[in-house]
Amino acid sequence: MSISYRPLRILIGVNGIGMGHSVRQSVIAQYLRDRGHEIRIVTNGPERVAYFRDLGFRAADAWMPALLARGDRIHPTDAIRTNLSRLPGGLAQHLRLRRAIEADGVPDVFITDYEPNSSRLAYHFGRPLISIDQQSKYRHLDLPRLGHLARTAEEQRLRYFTPRADRSFICSFTPLHTEDPALEFIAPVVPDAVRRALVRTEPLATAYFSRYFGHGPEDSVRVLAQTFRDHIPERTLRVYAQPSEISNLRPFADDSIEIRPFGREAFLADLARSEAVFSNAGFNLISEAFALGKPVHLVPLPTYDQHWCATTVDQAELGTTAPHIEPGQVLDFLNRIGELRDNVERHRDAHLRSDPRERIATYLESHAPDERPTPLAAVR
Task: Tell me the pLDDT of the chain (380 aa) as tens digits.
Answer: 457 789 999 999 999 888 899 999 999 999 999 999 999 999 999 999 999 999 999 999 999 999 999 988 999 999 999 999 999 999 999 999 999 999 999 999 999 999 999 999 999 999 999 999 999 999 999 999 999 999 999 999 999 999 999 999 999 999 999 999 999 999 999 999 999 999 999 999 999 999 888 889 999 999 999 999 999 999 999 999 999 999 999 999 999 999 999 999 999 999 999 999 999 999 999 999 999 999 999 999 999 999 999 999 999 999 999 999 999 999 999 999 999 999 999 999 999 999 999 999 999 999 877 665 544 333 33
pLDDT of residue 371: 60
Distance separating alpha carbons of residues 358 and 97, to the nearest angstrom: 30
Q: Are 323 and 280 in contact (CB under 8 A)?
A: no
Distance separating alpha carbons of residues 130 and 3, to the nearest angstrom: 23
In the chain, count of helices (H) and strands (E)?
16, 13
CA-nearest of 231, 227, 243 to 278 is: 227
Q: Are 110 and 118 in contact (CB under 8 A)?
A: yes
- What are the residues whose beta carbons fall under 8 Å from the beta carbon of 230, sequence distance 6 or more? 327
- What are the residues whose beta carbons fall under 8 Å from the beta carbon of 247, sequence distance 6 or more? none
CA angle 275, 280, 23 (to 5 degrees): 85
CA-nearest of 208, 172, 148, 186 to 316 is: 172
pLDDT of residue 16: 87
Distance separating alpha carbons of residues 38 and 224, to the nearest angstrom: 46
Whether 9-189+356-378 and 193-352 share one fold: the answer is yes
Q: What are phi and psi of 75, to 5 degrees?
A: -100, 130
pLDDT of residue 4: 77
Distance separating alpha carbons of residues 286 and 105, to the nearest angstrom: 38
Instruction: State how far the alpha carbon of 311 is from the alpha carbons of 224, 253, 280, in Å.
Output: 21, 30, 12
CATH class for domain 193-352? alpha beta
CA-nearest of 185, 197, 218, 192 to 294 is: 197
pLDDT of residue 311: 98
10: amino acid identity, one letter: I
Q: Are 43 and 208 in contact (CB under 8 A)?
A: no
pLDDT of residue 17: 86
CA angle 347, 350, 354 (to 5 degrees): 115
Give the containing element (helix H, strand E) for 300. none
Strands (E), the chain: 9-14, 38-43, 58-61, 109-113, 129-133, 167-171, 183-186, 204-208, 236-241, 257-261, 276-279, 296-298, 319-321
Instruction: State how far the alpha carbon of 263 is from the alpha carbons of 20, 100, 124, 202, 246, in Å.
Output: 14, 34, 39, 20, 13
Question: Could you tell me the end-to-end alpha-carbon distance of the chain, in angstroms, rounded to an integer?
Answer: 37
Sign of CA dihedral 262, 263, 268, 271: negative
Distance separating alpha carbons of residues 232 and 211, to the nearest angstrom: 27
Distance separating alpha carbons of residues 207 and 220, to the nearest angstrom: 10
Distance separating alpha carbons of residues 119 and 139, to the nearest angstrom: 16
Domain ranges of the chain: 9-189+356-378, 193-352
pLDDT of residue 372: 58
CA angle 178, 184, 189 (to 5 degrees): 130
Q: What kind of architecture, by CATH, is found in domain 9-189+356-378?
A: 3-Layer(aba) Sandwich (3.40)
pLDDT of residue 378: 38
Distance separating alpha carbons of residues 260 and 209, to the nearest angstrom: 12
3-class state of residue 201 by DSSP: coil
pLDDT of residue 2: 59
pLDDT of residue 24: 96
52: amino acid identity, one letter: F
- What are the residues whose beta carbons fall under 8 Å from the beta carbon of 328, sequence distance 6 or more? none
Give the containing element (helix H, strand E) for 83. helix 76-83
